[in-house]
Structure 1
């Protein structure tokens, strides 16, 4: 890989929305080499330049896929999804929403762990087949916005900043969780939140076995009934 980093317009736009990383840990050359050919070179270039990092004090994170292998297995190991492509968690939100990248399909799935949903996206199979994997990952970051990453309480007030004040900012391995989980009847209220270890918590949520696989139409039906 070329070690000279040049900022592209798409990631520059992402940084305009999210600011510079508020947390960063460097990525080893061994990790970079491990994912060469599996993930876009452009993503690996972001890793080299910014590290595995958090933005907006933990609202959005670019993560090491190795750390999420166990969580991914817990959520998708009994589905056909893992047979269709090699998937990796490349990013996540403060509330444990996971963003999956497939070696052949690109950005194909979101795991909304708070609701127990595995959401199927359009993906980038045609783009990647043409050798445009870097364009696909740049688009992923270009389309990200802070507001949809937050969760609102019943009064439509965003919870992230409230959680940050009550529970302190997140570390790399932490998330804000609802107790009980929303798919178990919990409500998205500040008094129902806690700061937990993301790996232990997401594995526990998967163990309830209540995940639903949703495409675009299924998601719309969930939102509007």
Structure 2
């Protein structure tokens, strides 16, 4: 399958965890033509769930779409497809006929383009030295030891939230429902802003 061989470096670096499951044919058919072929190939060959010892998850876009709508409004055109263990959301769209993959960092209210090709996203960005996965490698290990493995759609986070002055400290570390927490970060920030 050419789509999978194109992202083999990702699989070598972040092999699928035990709970990864291939979605049904209707799910894959729905994603074809709307998401990068590299992602569809991963869905077919391995599936949704955590990869690399719980460092990054391929997620059901329907579960995470409300989060993007909370952050960017109901007219958002990108589709969430992957999430780090700390809730950074990777989302995809096409602009001017070109692929665009962005990363929402909810902790520091930052959204940036990280790749313009699906295969490059998996083999260049995620496996590279400047990705959140690289930056958070040691913190992820410590979080996993302190809080245990993440379940489906769970993330690690800090309370109080980093965006409102919380500190990256294992004493402040928690884990819980990712879509709820990332949406709550936006709501807490918005509540503190002058109207």
Normalising by structure 1, report the TM-score. Answer: 0.74
- CA gap of 1:205–1:122, structure 2 versus 1, over 3 A, is closer
Q: Work out the number of aligned pairs and report it.
A: 185
Cα deviation 1:28-58 (Å, max 9, x = unaligned): 1111122222112332121011110211221
Q: 1:112 deviation in Å?
A: 0.3
The residue that corresponds to 1:149 in the other structure is 133
Q: Any conservation in 2 of the 1:40–1:137 contact (CA below 8 Å)?
A: yes
Unaligned runs of 5+ in 1: 125-135, 211-225
Q: Any conservation in 1 of the 2:3–2:38 contact (CA below 8 Å)?
A: no
C-alpha distance in structure 2 between counterparts of 1:137 and 1:6, whole Å: 13
Structure with higher Rg: it is: 1
C-alpha distance in structure 1 between counterparts of 2:81 and 2:99, whole Å: 11
C-alpha distance in structure 1 between counterparts of 2:157 and 2:111, whole Å: 18
The residue that corresponds to 1:94 in the other structure is 85
Q: 1:95 deviation in Å?
A: 0.2
Normalising by structure 2, report the TM-score. Answer: 0.84
Cα deviation 1:174-224 (Å, max 9, x = unaligned): 1001101111000111111101111111111111245xxxxxxxxxxxxxx
Q: Any conservation in 1 of the 2:81–2:92 contact (CA below 8 Å)?
A: yes
C-alpha distance in structure 1 between counterparts of 2:149 and 2:4, whole Å: 29
2:105 is aligned, of 112, 122, 131, to 112
- CA gap of 1:158–1:146, structure 2 versus 1, over 3 A, is farther
Unaligned runs of 5+ in 2: 191-195
Which moved further from structure 2: 190-199 or 97-106?
Answer: 97-106
RMSD value, Cα: 2.3
Cα deviation 1:64-112 (Å, max 9, x = unaligned): 111111111011117x8x2xxx210111100000011003442342110
- CA gap of 1:150–1:198, structure 2 versus 1, over 3 A, is farther
C-alpha distance in structure 1 between counterparts of 2:171 and 2:65, whole Å: 31
- CA gap of 1:19–1:37, structure 2 versus 1, over 3 A, is closer
C-alpha distance in structure 2 between counterparts of 1:173 and 1:8, whole Å: 24
Q: Any conservation in 2 of the 1:71–1:199 contact (CA below 8 Å)?
A: yes
Give SS of 2:107's match: coil
